[in-house]
Chains A and B, each alone.
Chain A
Amino acid sequence: MGGTAPSDEAHAQLAFLEVPVGAPGSGGVRYAAAMYFYQQGLMTAEMLEVYRQCSKFDDEDPVDLARFEGVANSVLNSDTAVGQGA
């Protein structure tokens, strides 16, 4: 991913994944980060799809929606995601 070290990229993408719900443009930013973690094998296709559903709705919290729809939130915790996101 460009000239950034993988761990730096994982940190950056985790920050994007955790952009506060409601921030303008945040739905797309979170979905793009989710796609990164999916490609790294750190997120399931089902959870990625939840992020896609929320991508145009900045106020929609994907974690809440996943819980509501019974999708297991496979997003790893911050330490795991950054540690494995290489």
Chain B
Amino acid sequence: MDQKVRNVEIPAQWDRRGLPGWCYHSDALLELEKEKLFKTHWQIACHVSDLPEVGSFQSFDLCEERALIVRDKEGDIRAFHNICRHRGSRLVAKEQGVCPNALICPFHGWVYNLDGTLRGAARPETFPALDKHEFGLRPIEMEIWQGFVFVRFQPGPQPSVAELMAPFEAEIAVYKSDTHVPTDGIWTEETPVNWKSIRDVDNEGYHVAMAHPALQDLYGYTYEDQPYVDGISRSDGQFTPTKGRRWAVRNYKKISKPQDHLPEGFHKTWRYYGIFPNSVIAVTPETVLFYQEFPLSTGKSMLRSATYRNAQEDRQQRAARYLASRIDRETVEEDIQLTIWSNESMASKSFEGFYLSDLEYGVRSHHDHLRKVLPVYNVEDPPQEDQVATLNETLQSRLSS
């Protein structure tokens, strides 16, 4: 649709190596990743439909930071640090809920209006007068795009989400995802790998024929990956004309029923848009969804995802969505195993590193995006842990000069 402006060609000659193994288990590098990648790049916190009424809130933790997304009295969505201005406690401890009147800190009982201003401190007579704005919740940069609520904890190199996603806005807008509603909430699971091993698997379709029999049965040879260009990748699979050999795929292909507003060319397509560094928005004829991964430590990550459906979904679409979720669940389980194998290779002194196929150029393009933010990824031999940050700064200043 809009890809003419993106150069997605795979170069005739390219460096087929991946990131050096040390990058997958360096605590010092992880600290840089948290500061320079995760906190400074847009993250999907939720969807507007996760906040259906006044006072609905969604909390979202990322790399020791905490966001609180809330729908205020005017119906507007706001994002704040989930931090009480008194002692820094979590203002809301649950992932989701409704506070219809105000937000109350569970530690001492400071009360905040839904617009973030301070209504009052507990035991107010023990404080001097507190300005409701000065002691209000600290806002977080937020942008709503196609119904998805993005937050960014610190300013960063990316443009607005709308600008970032502009090459695909028209293609995604046809799904009318801003009108969708939740299906079964936000799913999370811890997994024992470095976050980049998850992305390394997700960024290529070379493994699909081997590892994902259901996806192969669904879209097989039609599947295509476009690499990350200006922070966005795109992958696309069209349903193959076969009936499908596996039960879920056979029945899904039979009853899949696109939403009424979808144009013909979108009726039999699953499509994925990777958003650097760690998120994906995906679309199917029946649903839109997001998934992402965050580091918890060098060897542990959090998977997080949610699926949204058309509010007018009929019984057939509901059944199709169930079948699609079975295919998806099977695929996620298979991918988790692949990420474990990929990640453990990075700890082996006997493994000499990736040698990537043209079908894995998406992995390379993601790594190149990473290298641009943190040039220390270019260092092949493991640096001393206490030298990683300094080395990165030195390399960064050389690139800048």
Question: Chain A interface (Cβ within 8 Å of chain B)?
Answer: 1-4, 13, 16, 25, 28-29, 31-33, 35-36, 38-39, 45, 48-49, 52, 55-56
Contacts and interface: CB of A to CB of B under 8 A. Distances in A.
23 contacts: A1-B73, A2-B74, A2-B115, A3-B74, A4-B73, A16-B101, A25-B99, A28-B99, A29-B101, A31-B104, A32-B99, A32-B101, A32-B102, A32-B111, A32-B119, A36-B119, A39-B119, A45-B123, A48-B124, A49-B123, A52-B109, A55-B109, A56-B106
Contacts of A1: 73, 113
A30 to B, nearest CB: 9
B170 interface: no
A48 B125 CA distance: 11
B120 A39 contact: yes
Contacts of B102: 32, 35
B119 A2 contact: no
A16 B111 CA distance: 14
Nearest to B126: A45
B20 interface: no
B128 to A, nearest CB: 14
A56 B107 CA distance: 11
Contacts of A13: 101
B122 interface: yes
Q: Most B CB atoms within 10 A — which of A32, A36, A39? A: A32
Contacts of A3: 73-74
Given A3-B74, A45-B124, A29 B115 contact: no
B100 A29 contact: yes
B72 interface: yes
Interface residues of B, number: 20
Interface of B: 72-74, 98-102, 104, 106, 109, 111, 113, 115, 119-120, 122-125
Nearest to A1: B113
A39 to B, nearest CB: 5
B104 A38 contact: no
A28 B109 CA distance: 9
Nearest to A45: B125
A48 B104 CA distance: 14
Contacts of A29: 100-101
Complex A-B, nearest 4 residue pairs according to Cβ-Cβ distance, in ascending order: A32-B102, A32-B101, A35-B120, A35-B111
Given A2-B73, A16-B101, A35 B123 contact: no
A52 B100 CA distance: 17
B119 A35 contact: yes
Nearest to A17: B101
A26 B106 CA distance: 14
A38 B98 CA distance: 23
Contacts of A49: 123
Contacts of A55: 104, 109
A49 B120 CA distance: 12
A34 to B, nearest CB: 9
B84 to A, nearest CB: 14
Given A2-B74, A16-B101, A39-B119, 7 more contacts: A2-B73, A28-B99, A32-B104, A35-B102, A39-B120, A39-B124, A49-B123
A45 B99 CA distance: 23
A31 B85 CA distance: 19
Nearest to A9: B73
A31 B100 CA distance: 12
Nearest to A13: B101
Nearest to B112: A32
Given A1-B113, A49-B123, A28 B98 contact: no
A33 B124 contact: no
A51 to B, nearest CB: 9
A31 to B, nearest CB: 6
B135 to A, nearest CB: 13
A41 to B, nearest CB: 12
Q: Most A CB atoms within 10 A — which of B98, B100, B115? A: B100
Contacts of B124: 38-39, 45, 48
Nearest to A28: B104
A2 B101 contact: no
A56 B109 CA distance: 10
Contacts of B72: 2
Nearest to B76: A2
Contacts of B119: 32, 35-36, 39
Nearest to B98: A25
